[in-house]
Structure 1
Amino acid sequence: MLQAIRDQAQGWIAWVIVGLIVLTFALFGIDQYARGDKAVVVAEVNGEDISATQFVNLYNRQQQRLQQQFGDLYDQVVKDEELRDQVLDALIEAEEIRQWAADNGMVISDEQLAAAIHAADVFQDKGQFSQKLYEEVLLRNGYNIARFEMEQRKFLSESQYRNLTLASSFATSTEVDQLAALQGQQRNINYLRVDQRPFLKTVTVSDQQVADYYQANTQSYIEPEKVSIDYIELSQKKLAQNIETNEEVLKGFYEEHKAQFTLPEKRQAKHILITVDANTDAADAAAMQIVEEVQAKLAQGEKFEELAKTYSKDPGSAPAGGDLGTFEQGMMVPEFDEAVFSMKVGDISEPVRTEFGYHLIKLESITAKQSQPYEQVKSDVKEQYQSLEAERQYFELLEQLNTVAYEQSDSLEPAADAIGVKVETSELFSRQGGAGDVLSNTKVINTAFSEEVLKSRLNSTSIDLGNNRAVVIRVNNHQAERQKQLDEVSASIKDDLTREAAIEEASKLGAEIMEKLAAGEQPESFMKDGVEWHTVGWVNRNSQNLLPQMISEAFKAPKPVDGKPTWQDFKLATGDTILMQVSEVKTEALTDEQKAPLNDAFAELTAGAELAARLKSLKENSEVVKKAVYKTVK
């Protein structure tokens, strides 16, 4: 082979080879061959790289999770720039933790890694770890074993770092008692309300004030760029409404899809729930001891229902003897569900472990699945038939819509005629969107202001609105950004300035009244038009009879001194001034049961604050360089 090439080196083969080499260097540059491919870096943490691959992998996972969470609202709720910032910050924090762990000799052993993977439900078959399932799940999700286990080590290391702080946090009895005293505190309050609305009639705002305000705030009176659009909408729901039916068609559909109109099997069960107080072997053993005690009493003939009332920790069913009513398969947690639907009537199960604890289950009855007569479900049959037919039509028409809108891109009329709908025209709207679910849709807004649709004035491709509903749009009218003139906004400016002046007058009156109250005058003496005296009485931190802001301010106010009330003044969001009197303070002692959540909350709060401080310290002592490429890399 080599000899043949050498023999032909002076002929046309040589020229072809040289030509290909020249083309390759022309397209990619000789520098690339000298350097080789370099991994794209999105950030550096203390000299260690975070690669674009790491970023894209986490970004894609987060994006998929949020798309599942928000569905059709994803584009309206999630801002891509913010998501990218959050993903990069998470990777930087993880790298800072990894470096700290390495510097401090913290490692994840093979045994820890194996235990974590074996415990994951997604890799278990019938309660046991399955190597085959493990490999299949990783393959389906685009992972090889080495990469997945490397990422799990990182995750476990990060979790171990966090748990070092969280597990060591606790609340002392003194702290809990202090918090309980604050939580149980009550205050006797009354208040004067100085309404700003009467001053709206007395204050004056001149034309010069309006003009001066306009000149000082011209940027606030710029009308943004706006467009109005023509659009045609294709909707499966609307198509379904126009699909004709008759008895013959519907009965045929019913017979063909009879399973859909069959009531599923239901089972009635009772249970006794024994909770496990902590995630420890000792707590588990204590729970099992109670389970065995109940089993022993059942064996001696004691009634299941009476034992449920005594032992069960399910507050919903225990008073009813553990009765859960009837339910279909799949409505309960998997372990519970599997047990119930494998039992016979009258059976009492062995202990079933779920996330809630241990269950002893008694199956009371079975209601077999039952086919519903056609006449009884006729309306459902019609709805499902129309829906299926409409779905078929929808995708056929969607293809026609895209084809015609593309081929005749200077008008929507041909596309509208092709699918049998009318062209609609919207009001003007900005990049913030407009009224209705079409104009407020992020995809529609972005498309309306895109280069192709706005500048080139072409039809868009179909925009999916979700639930088999789509629109095609084109720009009808375009209004450039413009400065609003004084005469257009003077009325609204005057209203705003008048309200500000009224609020200020109410505040001044409030200050005058406060001085007189301090001198000993009685609050009732100030009652007149716009000034109201309200007697309230005792309130606690959870009282619902006042605005949350007023409750908050009541507990910020100084305590009475030597039996003399104190006063606190503040403004409401409405602009009214409130003068609040605190005349007495008392504390209602909390029970140990009421204190328990405070203990957990305080420990959690302390742990969160300490963890935040540790992470902040890591950041402050790290040299981080973010590369702009993370904003666009895919």
Structure 2
Amino acid sequence: MLQSIREKSGSKIAYLILSLLMAAFMFFGIQGYFVASGDTGVAKVGKVEISSSDYRQRMNEQVQRMRTMMGDSFNSDFFSTPQYKRQVVDQIVDEELMTQAGAAAGVAVSDARLRDEIVKLDAFQIDGKFNPSQYSAVLQSNGLTVESFEQRMRRDLAVRELPSQVEATVMVTDTEVDAFVRLRDQTRSFRYATLTPAIVMADQVSDVDAKDYFQKHASKFTTKEQASLEYVELNAATLIVPPADEAALRDRYEQQKSSRYGSGDQRLVSHILVSVAPGADANAQKAALKKADELLAKIRGGASFESVAREASDDVGSKDSGGDLGWIEKTGAFEPSFEDALFGLAVGAVSDPVRTDQGYHLINVRESRAASFRPFEEVRAELESEYVTTEREHLFGEKFNDLVEEAFGSPGSLEPTAKALEAQVQKTELFDRDFGGGIAVYPKVREAAFSDPVLTERNNSEAIEIGENHVVVVRLLEHKPAAPRKFEDVIAEVKAMLASEPATSCRRQDLAGVGAREQSALRVDRTDSSERR
């Protein structure tokens, strides 16, 4: 494919891919992900800026995923390394690059495709079937809204579609295949040098050098400010409500049967309207009725209903389609006189003039369709799930008022709030301003933890919304300010930093002076060749 792009660099798709690849190398501000700052973004792809909040959210998601997978063996130090942070930024940049390429190529994911993919996910299913309540609960527990999740999934699906669409549209000729094989199987001759232990050992970092660097840059080696919280949680998805009443479920089914679970008797209808103006006198009404009778006689005399409607109907919305009104069910959408006459006609019949507020109608029934509904037993689980959701929302509203009242009325303790909600006061582990576990995975919670009302004044927080119908109130449990770390604890880290410095002057001098000073240690072994694989 690369050879194809090379030889067809004038094509639109080549310019698209190349321009987006170049855009990926123009991002800036990478240093912003190492420390918190006032910068609004950590990277930029084309005109799209990757915000620091996007980066932190992605880091939190990955940390939480690994914490869940690894359990007690989880080590958060790995996620604090510059290499891992750079890896996360690169991942986000790659995704944005593919997203832009997909958008430019016109790759789109329909609502139907998105819905089909979501209902297939096991996490949202109960007993093998998609469950709306389970869907909402899983998203809430992971700090996601329905909108944000579906937006991300739509983007990911589009990204997955792009390679297959590119492959499907690129034609590869035999000549191009031959050129690719030649490129793949070509060889290179090269010379290489071996750094012997004499040079490698000279390049190691001593304890003295490490300590000197540590003392000069002590501000780099401090612990992060940390806090832990106690909190009371109110989540509609976990509230216990009374079981659904069977009679209430059946009433709900009857009320919604026609609109949700099938349809009643239907007729495929056409009509002709002879309009009568509001407030028209008796003479005008008689004239309209006479016209309707004449049109009816014309139809019964052999003229097609459709042609008469196109010619004479006053209903501008249907006359051009021969008076077609589509399928109609007896729901009260039309005036009673119209519906009664309509459902009293046999298929193929044309009614006598029917009076409504609009005027006189001639009605033609073209087809009939019998009622068809899904049985109550088939939709009972769905109705019950909706009942539980509705009841939980009502109960959540009541308990939310209690939570706000008690948390504000007793700002120095969460016990009254927990008692009013019949809940437990829970606790978090220590976390910093950027990352945390449990409820501290949510940026709003971390922000509240280090705010003046909670951290300085030691009051309860306001109710913090962390999901749909899901809130917490927090208060400070423990606070650990940032503190200097001991050299003994960071010596390995300091040495690693110094050893990885590519611009160390002594290294440059050693390598530059190899020909003059280190001929005994550095030698050119041989000339060799290698195939490109």
TM-score by length of 1: 0.33
TM-score by length of 2: 0.38
